[in-house]
């Protein structure tokens, strides 16, 4: 199914923390296996070509210290982020400050209306942010966000859905708290489904059962977790609430991983690390093992969740329904990010409360 990878986007930070646990535990062989299992591709924009006779630019070592910016992009097909590989419906920017003691997770809704980088890397006409990925793969998406925020994405990460249910079930599922009962009228369940449901009608007018989420504490296994984070219709604020569900699930999974006794169970940790690593494609230069060691102190409590400020929803001819960024607040957000002062920004603009969801 298209967009099944949404769940993967919500857990990639937990996967990075998993890798850091292996490094922190001093399991060098396991860390090498983790790095070896990660696929690699050219995900960063190509460096500008030098003119004839110009001196060679000094080669900078791969960045492994803060501050740094990670960009999380989703894909079903593992075609290495090449153009034409669908659209990245959810994009997540992660800022690691200089201290590397926190992670600021910024969700960028798929319909955000931004100037899209051209094939030559210049600032182009506005469109939905996920068009950048469709037209030029991960490198063009990186250029688009670099230009919009005046930032530098250091390491993009492409995530695939394969193995997500196995990973979720491997930790025994997760628990989430839901504020209000909801029904996903687009998610039809088979008759023998064990999951909560409600009567509904499909587009052909046939009576069906749709997945329902009751209010209160709910346990999510891999399949139900996918349903939970993919729901959009039936939520009060559509994509905003869905983004918060992504973040809520990320926090819950990271906490569950921390609760497991995997560091004392080499076989269990090995299964978790290999499953997690098999879902990722990173840039060819990305030093996964060294980055994992840098992030070894990160835990769920150290993650702060934000959403790109949006001013309004609008219909644009030839583009469709878009979400227009709040220019002033975005300038404030990215100025704080560039100055490595997101802690000050979040004191004025409270982050998302992901201890519960819609």
Span 11-37, pLDDT tens digits = 455 555 444 444 444 445 555 666 667
Structure-model confidence comparison of residues 161 and 292, the more confident one: 292
Q: How far is CA 28 from the centre of its chain?
A: 27
pLDDT in tens, 153-174: 999 988 765 456 777 888 899 9
Phi and psi torsions of 323, nearest 5°: -115, 115
Helices (H), the chain: 6-9, 12-24, 28-37, 130-149, 164-170, 222-230, 239-259, 266-277, 288-294, 327-338, 342-348
* Band of pLDDT at residue 73, cut at 50, 70 and 90: confident
- Which SS3 state, helix, strand or coil, does residue 315 take? strand
Residue where the block lists tokens 């007018």: 205
Model pTM? Answer: 0.81
152 closest CA partner among 340, 11, 357: 340
CB-based contacts of 35, cutoff 8 Å, min separation 6? 277, 288, 289
Residue where the block lists tokens 């052909």: 204
Q: How far is CA 233 from the centre of its chain?
A: 20
Q: List the domain boundaries for the chain.
A: 6-44+63-176+226-348
pLDDT at 35: 64
Phi and psi torsions of 28, nearest 5°: -60, -40
Q: Select the CATH number that applies to the domain covering 6-44+63-176+226-348 from these four: 3.30.1370.10, 3.40.630.30, 3.40.50.620, 3.40.630.190.
A: 3.40.630.190
């Amino acid at each position: 199914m298209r967009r099944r990878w949404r769940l993967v986007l919500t857990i990639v930070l937990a996967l990075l923390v998993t890798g850091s646990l292996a490094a922190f535990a001093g399991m060098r062989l396991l860390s090498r296996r983790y790095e070896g299992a990660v696929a690699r591709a050219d995900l960063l924009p190509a460096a500008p070509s030098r003119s004839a006779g110009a001196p060679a630019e000094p080669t900078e070592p791969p960045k492994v210290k803060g501050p740094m910016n990670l960009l999380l992009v989703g894909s079903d097909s593992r075609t290495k982020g090449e153009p034409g590989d669908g659209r990245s419906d959810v994009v997540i920017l992660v800022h690691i400050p200089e201290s590397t003691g926190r992670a600021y997770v910024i969700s960028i809704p798929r319909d955000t209306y931004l100037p899209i980088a051209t094939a030559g890397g210049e600032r182009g006409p506005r469109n939905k942010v996920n068009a950048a990925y469709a037209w030029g793969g991960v490198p063009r998406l990186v250029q688009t966000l670099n230009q919009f925020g005046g930032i530098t994405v250091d390491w993009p990460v492409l995530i695939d859905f394969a193995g997500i249910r196995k990973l979720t079930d491997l930790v025994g599922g997760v628990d989430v708290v839901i504020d209000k009962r909801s029904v996903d009228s687009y998610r039809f369940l088979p008759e023998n489904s064990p999951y909560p449901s409600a009567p509904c009608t499909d587009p052909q007018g046939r009576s069906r059962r749709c997945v329902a989420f009751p209010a209160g504490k709910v346990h999510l296994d891999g399949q139900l977790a996918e349903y939970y984070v993919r729901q959009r219709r039936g939520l009060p604020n559509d994509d905003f609430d869905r983004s918060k569900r992504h973040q809520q699930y990320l926090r819950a999974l990271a906490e569950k991983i921390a609760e497991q006794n995997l560091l004392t169970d080499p076989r269990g940790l090995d299964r978790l690390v290999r499953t997690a690593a098999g879902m990722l494609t990173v840039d060819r230069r990305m030093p996964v093992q060294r980055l994992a060691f840098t992030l070894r102190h990160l835990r769920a409590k150290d993650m702060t969740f934000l959403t790109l400020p949006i001013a309004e929803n609008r219909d644009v001819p030839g583009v469709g329904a878009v979400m227009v960024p709040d220019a002033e607040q975005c300038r404030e957000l990215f100025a704080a990010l560039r100055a490595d002062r997101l802690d000050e920004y979040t004191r004025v603009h409270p982050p998302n409360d992901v201890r519960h969801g819609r």
